Chain A
């Protein structure tokens, strides 16, 4: 295959994978602290609509990205108050977050449908960005792509090599013991939930500012749920979340190319089903294969905790 075509394909794979990676990293940290937030889809939608609206009205994409992160964090805070302070059921609250996010984002976005926006500016390093093949791949991405890759390393480092990471994992493995030793379980979980919200908000902003610089109702199309599946696939490890996100990004792009090129005489909807079917297949393989023993989900995942006074 022509290297230029290959580069073009990989560039689009990056754009499809970046939102998945951002959201999956956030949820990974949240779940490592023992909290299951099923509201990723809702937080991404809020990030997408707020990021788009702020960028369009101010003309400043930096403000838009920041506002998207805050919007994600805002919804995450609601989730935190309900599940951590008021000890509500995490599954139900997460679903509520998604339903609410879909509604509010459509409400806010009603006036922004169909308005165009220039995509996020890409890095341009004189000389380097013009290199053949690697130039555009390595030195021609936008800020959020680099951020997603840097955050993979940062999350891995913090979780495995720092004290705060150790405490966060302890809280997720045994909230009662962590509380007994004197760690502020609830406060640490709030932090993890908010981090998840910020990352989901950024993932949404990537969709509406870079992937397709538009606002469309429910434009996440299940990516928040796929990010949740990637966390399981990754066995709660950041490095494997990177692999998972690019795997799913690759499948998304593959099916789009297959649709466009007409490789197979089947209706386009069959191709569109692939990412969702692949998610199910991957979950089955992960749960059934020899990896099963090493899945190690955080022991307290989804369980409510309220310290005895």
Chain B
């Protein structure tokens, strides 16, 4: 018996959106095998990883708290990925947003006014955009790969943050720890659920996702982004400006990553510290792909990836699984997802032997 592989003329939409679910299932199975191979009881580990965080109010609040930056950055990156603009430096843009928003908060530490928080958010968006503008400019002006420049700038951003919290922004009353003073209450996001860390940033995140959905699906810009990515020749013929799309998507991605950065320092952290994010900027790349570059899909994918962070911490406490298991799970998921795309684009058929002519 032989198989034949042939390309599908039109990939069915159902399969396109179903394969991510399939990929998650396969990854969970592979993860269980991996845990078993490393000597952890797979059943208990999976339970602590994927189920027990969802059984408490606090767990659910943490889930939404961590899904917020992932979803916001994910939709920003997805706009770029649709147009073949590969911004992989969202982690650095997030850091710059945190720095800009955090410095605003420290500058206004004696001010108790309702406009402090919006100003911080604006500063954060501007910071993230400024950092993303560098790869955009270099791409448009000199045709330098935005992949390499945006990533190099992530390292620079991390060092810049370290420099600031070890130096000019260090809290003089902080016993020498490399961290800034705590922000004033007016610079902290209002809480949504008492007794948890869930804050109003989640509502903004939800609004961002819905807004992105509207822009990508219903506006001419969203249409241009898709055409530039899928059919560059047609885009040129139609007169769509490719440099404009590069600028737009990088600034959108950078701005949203910057906003996510502000929400981290104005939310759960409350000050500037040497490490703002546990890799949200990189995980958001997986979120964008897992969500099929669609804002609603990205929202679901962000929740799942947030679960992988919380589950990782949970399993570390419960069964002593190393924290790095989260990264393994995330990488594995992206592999399986990319492999499953084959099923979307190609059809595997049983090849029947041709019947001999009578």
Contact = CB atoms under 8 A, between A and B. Distances in A.
Contacts of B324: 102-107, 110, 217
B151 A222 contact: yes
B156 interface: yes
Given A88-B341, A269-B159, A96 B331 contact: yes
B331 A99 contact: yes
A71 B235 CA distance: 43
A82 interface: yes
B163 A96 contact: no
Contacts of A269: 159-160, 162-163, 166
Looking at chain B's contact residues, the main secondary structure is helix
A91 interface: yes
For A78, A93, A99, A273, the residue with the greatest tally of chain B CB atoms inside 10 Å of its CB is A99
Interface residues of B, number: 51
A309 B346 CA distance: 13
A8 interface: no
A283 B148 contact: yes
Given A107-B38, A225-B152, A280-B138, A87 B160 contact: no
A211 interface: no
Contacts of B88: 95
A104 B143 contact: no
Interface in B148-167: 148-149, 151-153, 155-156, 159-160, 162-163, 166-167
Contact of B338 (A82, A267, A276): A82
A219 B54 CA distance: 34
A249 B134 CA distance: 25
B325 A103 contact: yes
A3 B289 CA distance: 55
Nearest to A83: B338
Contacts of B252: none
Nearest to A270: B163
A221 B331 contact: no
Contacts of A270: 159, 163
Given A225-B148, A267-B166, A102 B327 contact: yes
Nearest to B152: A276
Contact of A283 (B149, B329, B338, B342): B149
Interface in B116-157: 134, 138, 141-145, 147-149, 151-153, 155-156
A181 interface: no
Interface string A77-119: 0100110001111011101110111111111001000000000
A269 B282 CA distance: 23
A7 interface: no
30 contacts: A38-B147, A78-B335, A82-B335, A96-B338, A97-B331, A100-B327, A100-B328, A100-B334, A100-B335, A103-B325, A103-B326, A103-B329, A103-B330, A103-B331, A107-B325, A107-B327, A221-B155, A222-B152, A228-B148, A270-B159, A272-B159, A273-B160, A276-B152, A276-B156, A279-B152, A280-B153, A283-B144, A283-B148, A284-B138, A306-B7
**Leading 9 A-B pairs by shortest Cβ distance:** A103-B327, A100-B331, A106-B324, A103-B328, A96-B334, A269-B163, A88-B338, A86-B342, A99-B331
Interface of A: 38, 78, 81-82, 86-89, 91-93, 95-97, 99-107, 110, 217, 221-222, 225, 228-229, 232, 267, 269-270, 272-273, 276-277, 279-280, 283-284, 287-288, 306, 309
